């Protein structure tokens, strides 16, 4: 397969440079230094060039943490390659440190021999003391293991902008674009896209736009003219499957999935929500797409958000609510009402570090049991978890499909890592999207000629759904237990037992695809099983283990409730099953309880994704142990 890249975003790049197959770059600076924008632009350049890529933003929960301090450090890591990669990379090959705090917070991650580019202008006594440096690390030999490039970025930027008439402060603010320009030169990146982007972004302030473009170019030319950077690098486009791609974050993909679900079901969408990190971007995104019949309601609290969504569903719309773990806790009573009234409802939990307020901007997978069981009574709901940023699109459509077909709230578990991370997305053809249309009840269905809202479809066990406005089908629903069939209030013990079992059977019977196992050798005796956003690091680790000559099988769960029908058989066909999770073993608990398989739970709850390296070590040890036995 030949790889040629074109499209709106494609840009040409300067030829030459030492060929590399992959590079990880981390931009780190103060929250006010524009590191997220810088990283984002570098990513777009990589995308425009046709690399495969994966990104990991990391920023403080405080909007303006004290300047120049360690808690105020914001960073953006981008991994780009000429082959299909799975993670944002464990460690950077290149670290760009805009100030002493950024250096101190990140240097431990840079492997010996790695490239370090520092903005020397910030390495003054005051800033050094602020973060506990007794001596300037640029002056002693503490950075000897690295290839250090000292660049006075602020001074150089101010010099480049001297003739623009821009104030010193404003000029200094463009130093992130200087850094971007320098890195773009080092890695032979196309530059047209960034210049176009800057002119569009600052369209209302042309002088600022020009200043940023000038700073960007100054960085690029600095690389070219100074002798300091003897070597440049080239990462060729990746040989991805043919088709048209774009770069996308998890939250954007999720929002698009909801738009698509509304279109494919031909239902208006009402998102009832309350701002919460890291889910707010779903609200921001959807509020832009009213032309698709989407109403976004920013409610007074989490509870009102989901209640409005449920009210809209009751009226025959697609009700959606988006939140993070603390919000799910508040919404749980309404999810229970959705279970009881058997109405479709999409509940999105973009998980973050917990418990309580926890780590709002960090990632975790610790809401699985909350999603499964966090309600009073026997209250089963389907749970779907996307495995990567781009996968959020398909996951949203799948979750909606289940909600509408089976008339049930569905929990979609994303997390901070995939919500803010990005990767290339093979843009789907709308013609290939599934039809999600629903049939509302229009006629009486009961033996007595009336309408019974709790008569079920024999195959799906979904109840009849008649929306207000349908003549002759007036009925009442609510949170009290229903009589099987008629839906009238019932306190009958046998009826309750039957209804509890019916609700459970409905969820258990949801059709989900069988679990597929990836085992290229066909000889693996160890299976590594994950769910959600850990797909990337687990996959990368499995590849590495295989490269070392060991056999390991990998499978990943997208459906956590119900589990795929073949899961038990899969688990039982391996000597050992390893389950890595960013929690204290929640999936492991479910697997042991359900299948009586003593899986090996490997857990880490650091607020950061797994590193492929650590999982590689864990898997290698286990595989070796099994082989030796």
Partner 1 sequence: MTAIDLGLPGLSGLAGVPTADEPQKAKDYKSDQEVRWCPGCGDYVVLNAVQSFLPSLGLKRENIVFVSGIGCSSRFPYYMNTYGMHSIHGRAPAIATGLATARPDLSVWVVTGDGDALSIGGNHLIHTLRRNVNLKILLFNNRIYGLTKGQYSPTSETGKVTKSTPMGSLDHPFNPVSLALGAEATFVGRALDSDRKGLTEVLRQAAEHRGSALVEIYQNCPIFNDGAFDVLKEPDEAAQRLVNLEHGKPIRFGKGDDGAGEFGVIRSGFGSLDVAKVSEVGEDAIVVHDAHTPDPSYAFALSRLSAQDLSHTVTGVFRSVQRPTYDDLARAQVEDAKASKPADLQSLLRGKDTWTVV
- Which residues inside 461-480 make contact with partner 1, applying CB under 8 A? 468-480
From the list 4-12, 175-183, 571-579, 598-606, the region that binds partner 1 by CB under 8 A is: 4-12
Residues 405-464 contacting partner 1, CB under 8 A: 427-430
Residues 309-348 contacting partner 1, CB under 8 A: 309-317, 319, 333-334, 336-337, 341
Q: Which residues, at least 6 apart from 353, have a Cβ–Cβ distance to it below 8 Å?
A: 359, 360, 362, 363, 364, 366, 416, 605, 607
Least distance CB 415 / partner 1 (angstroms) = 23
The residue from 36, 44, 273, 583 that contacts partner 1 (CB under 8 A) is: 44
For residues 51 and 42, what is the distance between their CA atoms, to the nearest angstrom? Answer: 12
Asked if 199 interacts with partner 1 (CB under 8 A), we say no
The residue from 139, 141, 163, 300 that contacts partner 1 (CB under 8 A) is: 300
Q: Which residues, at least 6 apart from 125, have a Cβ–Cβ distance to it below 8 Å?
A: none
For residues 271 and 305, what is the distance between their CA atoms, to the nearest angstrom? Answer: 8
**Residue of 399, 429, 404, 424 lying closest to 558 (CA atoms):** 399
Sign of CA dihedral 219, 222, 224, 230: negative
Least distance CB 421 / partner 1 (angstroms) = 17
The residue from 307, 542, 578, 599 that contacts partner 1 (CB under 8 A) is: 307
Least distance CB 384 / partner 1 (angstroms) = 20
Least distance CB 629 / partner 1 (angstroms) = 45
From the list 58-66, 91-99, 206-214, 302-310, the region that binds partner 1 by CB under 8 A is: 302-310
Structure tokens that stand for 129 in this block: 């003391």
Asked if 490 interacts with partner 1 (CB under 8 A), we say no
- Give the single-character DSSP code of 454: B
Residues 260-289 contacting partner 1, CB under 8 A: 260, 263, 268, 270, 272, 289
Residues 49-68 contacting partner 1, CB under 8 A: 50
From the list 304-312, 373-381, 546-554, 621-629, the region that binds partner 1 by CB under 8 A is: 304-312
For residues 386 and 357, what is the distance between their CA atoms, to the nearest angstrom? Answer: 23
Asked if 69 interacts with partner 1 (CB under 8 A), we say no
CB 337 within 8 A of CB 345: no
Asked if 577 interacts with partner 1 (CB under 8 A), we say no
Asked if 256 interacts with partner 1 (CB under 8 A), we say yes
End-to-end CA distance of the chain: 43
H helices within 19-86, ranges in order? Answer: 35-49
Structure tokens that stand for 244 in this block: 């048209």
The residue from 61, 240, 517, 608 that contacts partner 1 (CB under 8 A) is: 240
Least distance CB 241 / partner 1 (angstroms) = 7
Q: Which is nearer to partner 1, 67 or 488 (CB)?
A: 488
- Give the single-character DSSP code of 513: P
Asked if 242 interacts with partner 1 (CB under 8 A), we say yes
Site string for partner 1, 368-387 (x = CB under 8 A): --------------------
Number of residues that bind partner 1 (CB under 8 A): 80
CB 315 within 8 A of CB 468: yes
On the 0-12 / 13-18 / 19+ scale of CB atoms within 10 A, 202 is: middle
For residues 36 and 38, what is the distance between their CA atoms, to the nearest angstrom? Answer: 5
């Amino acid at each position: 397969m030949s790889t040629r890249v074109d499209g709106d975003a494609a840009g040409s790049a300067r030829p030459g440079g030492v060929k590399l197959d992959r590079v990880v770059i981390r931009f780190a600076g103060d929250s006010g230094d524009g590191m997220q924008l810088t990283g984002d632009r570098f990513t777009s350049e990589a995308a425009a060039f046709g690399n495969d890529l994966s990104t990991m933003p990391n920023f403080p929960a405080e909007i303006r943490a004290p300047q120049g301090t360690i808690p105020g450090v914001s960073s953006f890591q981008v991994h780009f390659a000429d082959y299909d990669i799975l993670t944002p990379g464990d460690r950077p090959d290149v670290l760009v440190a805009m100030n002493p705090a950024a250096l101190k917070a990140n240097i431990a991650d840079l492997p010996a021999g790695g490239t370090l580019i520092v903005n020397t202008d910030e390495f003054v006594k005051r800033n050094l003391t602020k973060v506990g440096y007794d001596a300037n690390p640029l002056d002693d030999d503490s950075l000897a293991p690295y290839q250090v490039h000292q660049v006075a970025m602020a001074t150089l930027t101010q010099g480049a902008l001297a003739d623009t008439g821009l104030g010193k402060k404003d000029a200094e603010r463009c130093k992130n674009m200087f850094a971007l320009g320098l890195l773009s030169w080092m890695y032979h990146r196309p530059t047209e896209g960034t210049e176009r982007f800057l002119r569009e972004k600052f369209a209302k302030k042309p002088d600022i736009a020009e200043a940023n473009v000038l700073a960007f170019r100054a960085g690029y030319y600095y690389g070219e003219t100074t002798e300091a950077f003897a070597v440049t690098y080239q990462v060729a486009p990746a040989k991805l499957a043919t088709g048209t791609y774009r770069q996308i974050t998890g939250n954007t993909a999720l929002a698009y999935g909801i738009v698509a679900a509304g279109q494919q079901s031909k239902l208006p969408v009402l998102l009832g929500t309350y701002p919460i990190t890291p889910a707010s971007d779903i609200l921001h995104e959807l509020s832009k797409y009213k032309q698709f019949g989407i109403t976004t309601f920013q409610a007074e609290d989490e509870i009102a958000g989901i209640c409005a969504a449920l009210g809209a569903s009751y009226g025959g719309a697609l009700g959606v609510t988006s939140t993070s773990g603390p919000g799910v806790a508040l919404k749980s009573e309404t999810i229970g009402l959705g279970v009881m009234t058997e109405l479709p409802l999409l509940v999105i939990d973009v998980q973050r570090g917990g418990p309580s307020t926890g780590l709002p901007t960090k990632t975790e997978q610790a809401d699985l049991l909350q999603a499964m069981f966090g309600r009073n009574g026997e209250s089963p709901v389907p749970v779907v978890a996307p495995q990567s940023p781009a996968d959020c699109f398909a996951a949203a459509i799948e979750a909606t499909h289940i909600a509408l077909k089976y008339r049930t709230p569905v929990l979609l578990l994303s997390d901070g890592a995939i919500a803010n991370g990005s990767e290339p997305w093979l843009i789907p053809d709308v013609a290939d999207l599934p039809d999600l249309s629903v049939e509302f009840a229009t006629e009486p269905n009961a033996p007595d000629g009336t309408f019974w809202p709790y008569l079920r479809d024999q195959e799906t066990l979904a109840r009849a759904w008649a929306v207000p406005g349908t003549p002759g089908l007036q009925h009442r629903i609510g949170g009290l237990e229903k009589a099987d069939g008629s839906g009238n209030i019932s306190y009958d013990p046998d009826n309750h037992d039957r209804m509890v079992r019916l609700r459970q059977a409905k969820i258990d019977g949801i059709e989900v695809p069988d679990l597929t196992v990836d085992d290229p050798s066909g000889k693996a005796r160890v299976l590594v099983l994950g769910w959600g956003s850990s797909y990337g690091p687990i996959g990368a680790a499995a590849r590495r283990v295989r490269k070392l000559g060991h056999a390991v099988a990998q499978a990943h769960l997208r459906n956590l409730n119900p589990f795929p029908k073949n899961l038990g058989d899969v688990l039982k066909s391996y000597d050992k099953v390893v389950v890595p999770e960013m929690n204290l073993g929640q999936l492991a608990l479910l697997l042991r309880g359900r299948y009586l398989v003593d899986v090996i739970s490997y857990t880490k709850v650091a607020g950061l994704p797994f590193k492929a390296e650590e999982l590689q070590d864990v898997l290698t040890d286990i595989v070796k142990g099994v082989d030796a036995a």
